[in-house]
Amino acid sequence: MRAHPRGLILATGLALACAPTWAAAQKADDAVRQEGVRLYEEGVKLFKQGKFAEAAERFQAAYNIDPSPILLYNLGRATEKAGKPAEAITHYRAYLQRFPQAEDRAQVERIIEALESAARTRQGFLTIEGLPSEGVRVYFDSALAPAPGEDGRWTLETGRYQVQVRTDDGHAWRTEVEILPDQTTAPRYAGPPAPPPPDEAGPSPMQIGGWVGVGVGAAVLAAGGVVFAQAHAAGTDAEDARADLRSGTLTLAEADARAADYTSARDDVESLGLTSYILFGVGAAAATTGAVLLVLDAQGEDGAEAALVPTLGGLGVIGRF
């Protein structure tokens, strides 16, 4: 503890017993001053015990009672020893401002300069690139950060920090940084994820299956129509052959030939007719299935999956809807 020739400035004054009210007020002032002396002496005792933070509390309480510049010096010493250089610098400067004629002014100025130099070696800077100017809150180790300086940087003690940025719409971004002495750390803020780009992957499997089904169905229906026309033509040929046989004008050889024509035409009618019916059924089923798939795809059924598969009757659809 630094001794100072002035000690704690406490004005004692003279008690003038000219009136009872003045005597009572003087008695109250004496009690307040005694409390200031007690706090100062406790601070000195704690300082000598190495309890610098508690000593600073007592000196501050004594200063609140009697704002003596000497107590500002004591506060500077206590907070310096407590490892709070910024507070110590504030108290030392206030001491020199309040007591400009102090004999130890040069010494105190050197202490301030040393503390400022030490503080600079234990501090670094942080700036967050790409940080929006509005709608965000910044936290350092879960504590809300103050506003940055005019240059957009925060001044922090060296060490590692968990940095978190929260936006008003609920997005949170986190990163860990290391603050180095007299250097600027500049992580880049990653904002909310961008919306997904429009789907340019082409038609969906369901859409492809739908168009295939419709196309196959149309082709099979057309083939069925051709076969049906052939069956109809064979039926006409059979009727012509039967009419010739019934006319009675044919020779025996001609009758045998027309009988063979009739039999062949009847066989063609049966086979082509059956084939056309099968083709009509398969084509209708394929076209209907394709149309169903296209409707489901257009409606955007969530989770719907389907595909065309060959079946005993032609084509079918399997999947879940």
Q: Is the separation of the CB atoms in 177 and 185 below 8 Å? A: yes
Q: Is the separation of the CB atoms in 179 and 124 below 8 Å? A: yes
Give me the pLDDT at residue 11, please: 30
Instruction: Using the predicted structure, report yes or no on whether residue 5 has a pLDDT greater than 50.
Output: no
Bridge-based pairing state of the strands 184-185 and 305-311: unpaired
For the domain made up of 20-121, give the CATH fold.
Answer: 1.25.40
pLDDT > 90 fraction of the chain, expressed in percent and rounded? 28
Instruction: Using the predicted structure, report yes or no on whether residue 3 has a pLDDT greater than 70.
Output: no
Instruction: Using the predicted structure, report yes or no on whether residue 82 has a pLDDT greater than 80.
Output: yes
Q: Residue 209 is encoded by which pair of tokens?
A: 């299956």
Q: Is the separation of the CB atoms in 157 and 122 below 8 Å? A: yes
Give me the pLDDT at residue 19, please: 38
Region 69-90: mean pLDDT is: 91
Residue with the bigger pLDDT between 248 and 47: it is 47
- Phi, psi dihedrals of residue 244, rounded to the nearest 5°: -65, -40
Query: Which H/E stretch holds residue 164?
Result: strand 159-167
Prediction pTM value: 0.38
Any idea where the domains of the chain sit in the sequence?
A: 20-121, 124-185, 205-320
Give me the pLDDT at residue 51, please: 95
The confidence band for 310, taking pLDDT boundaries of 50, 70 and 90, is low
Instruction: Using the predicted structure, report yes or no on whether residue 293 has a pLDDT greater than 80.
Output: no
Residue 272 class from Cβ within 10 Å (0-12 exposed, 13-18 middle, 19+ buried)? buried
The confidence band for 28, taking pLDDT boundaries of 50, 70 and 90, is low
Q: Would you tell me how many other CB atoms lie within 10 Å of the CB of residue 258? A: 18
Bridge-based pairing state of the strands 123-126 and 184-185: parallel
Bridge-based pairing state of the strands 154-157 and 143-144: unpaired
Of 82-91, 201-210, 251-260, the one with minimum mean pLDDT is 201-210
Region 75-80: mean pLDDT is: 94
Computed over every residue of the chain, the mean pLDDT equals 79
- Looking up tokens 């004496």 gives 30
Q: Alpha-carbon distance 130 to 72, whole Å?
A: 44
Q: Alpha-carbon distance 177 to 306, whole Å?
A: 51
Q: Is the separation of the CB atoms in 244 and 261 below 8 Å? A: no
